[in-house]
Amino acid sequence: MPIAPIENFVSTRNACKLCAPLGACLAMRGIEGCIPLIHGSQGCSTYIRRYGISHFREPIDIASSNFTESSAIFGGRDNLFQALDNITRQYQPAAIGVASTCLSETIGEDIRMYLYEYESKRHSKRPVIFHASTPSYRGTHIDGFHEAIRSVVCSVTKMETAPQKTGGVNIISGFVSAEDMREIHSILQSYAVPYTLLPDYSESLDGGAWDEYRKIAEGGTTLDRIKAMPFADGTLYLGQGVEPDADAGIYLQQHFNVPSRCVELPIGIENTDVFFNALEELTGKSMPEVQRKNRLRLIDAYFDGHKYCSGKRAVVYGEEDFVTGLASFLDEIGVETVLAATGAPGRNFETRITSVLRNSRLKPQITADTDFVTMLEVCKEMNADFILGNSKGLYLARELNVPLVRCGFPIHDRIGGHRILHLGYRGALNLFERICNTLIEAKQSREKTGWLYV
């Protein structure tokens, strides 16, 4: 029998993605009173805390079952039980979200069985416990983010049966900034209808100053609001990159007949128009006047700044949904996307990017499952004018000698990364002005004399 040839394999160098448990933990922090628990080694939780704190500039507690060598051999059941007891005693949380890791998944830990055994021995009221399967060899931080959302929805709503619809809207958010979530709140409040936004770390990861330390930050989607999701008129999922088996909207549709619809992240006019059209269908209400004015203000800004960005070339990278939204936005302001890249496997990434680049005169390079070293090799001859993405592209920008417009996650080297607004008409206005001003500044810095008027 002939031996199949071995495919060439290149190790990832400076990854353009993060680990699945990280995304799960951030989603869990968007649930009121929830403490994330990493079932694995201490290093995993330390890594997640480090990334979260440097971006959000807030204290972030991530518990760990703290695997040792013996745990990796004989299993971490006792570690998990002790961690659950410790968290319950010290934090008194409303919920505990358990995220698995590569280590616990590789040795075959049956976490669901462990939790069933733990729950059966309860003698007093304890927090809601849910589990997200998040080994990083099976996905990125975005997969972990969506998996955690579905897990808590399944766990909290599983006791509901044949609910009577009471109205309202479910909004399941993609991986966006805390400021984006506040913008979603503002938009939904202007419709004056009941709604549930899940997750919601607009306050829990971006709150005000504290007089004294709080073990659990205020804010987040309440468990009662999650319990009410089966009673809504419909679910709107922001982002089309979620896999069906991790889609909480599909779960609500299959089990409670709540219609679900996925739309692209509302970045730019076109995607935001689609978002508002979907809200109009769900609520029966037309776009609020304040949003109509925001749209007109954005169009006026496009007129004002068109000459600064039209025909420029951009490299865009990040999560699949985020890059798709940014590419659509760049296309409508006249910027050519020369490279669109994601570290995720990108199951239909190329198709999605191609579909949103309707005005492009150039054929872009579209790359999934990539890293920053590969991206640099690809775009050296592309003559990009700027790069759009998170802080991890700094060295890419330096090698290409072009400016980096920071957005997305993570942003470690600037203050306020979690307060960058990307979504809605106001988010598009913010991004547009950031790009125009970055290009103006870059041109000014190359001139010996500079100028005061542009």
Task: Kindly indicate the confidence band of residue 392, based on its pLDDT and cuts at 50, 70 and 90.
Answer: very high
Q: What is the mean pLDDT of the segment spanning 188-194?
A: 94
Quick one: CA dihedral 102, 107, 110, 115, positive or negative?
negative
Task: Kindly indicate the confidence band of residue 368, based on its pLDDT and cuts at 50, 70 and 90.
Answer: very high
Per-residue pLDDT of 43-85, as tens digits, reads 999 999 999 999 999 999 999 999 988 888 888 999 999 999 9
The proportion of the chain whose per-residue pLDDT surpasses 90, expressed as a percent, equals 82
Q: What is the mean pLDDT of the segment spanning 273-287?
A: 96
What is the CATH architecture of 20-157? 3-Layer(aba) Sandwich (3.40)
Q: How many residues are recorded in the chain? A: 454
Assigned token pair, 7: 């495919």
CATH class of 289-446: alpha beta
Per-residue pLDDT of 373-384, as tens digits, reads 999 999 998 999
Task: Kindly indicate the confidence band of residue 4, based on its pLDDT and cuts at 50, 70 and 90.
Answer: low
Assigned token pair, 30: 């968007």
Mean pLDDT for all residues in the chain? 93
Q: Which residue matches tokens 């160098």?
A: 13
**DSSP label of 288:** P
Superfamily of domain 169-206+215-283: Nitrogenase molybdenum iron protein domain (3.40.50.1980)
What stretches of 304-427 adopt beta strand conformation (E)? 313-317, 336-341, 365-367, 386-389, 404-406
Quick one: CA dihedral 171, 174, 175, 177, positive or negative?
negative
User: Does residue 160 have a pLDDT over 70?
Assistant: no
Write out the residue limits of the CATH 3.40.50.1980 domain(s) in the chain: 20-157, 169-206+215-283, 289-446
**DSSP label of 329:** H
Task: Kindly indicate the confidence band of residue 263, based on its pLDDT and cuts at 50, 70 and 90.
Answer: very high
The answer to whether residues 306 and 333 touch, using CB atoms and an 8 Å cutoff, is yes
**DSSP label of 158:** T
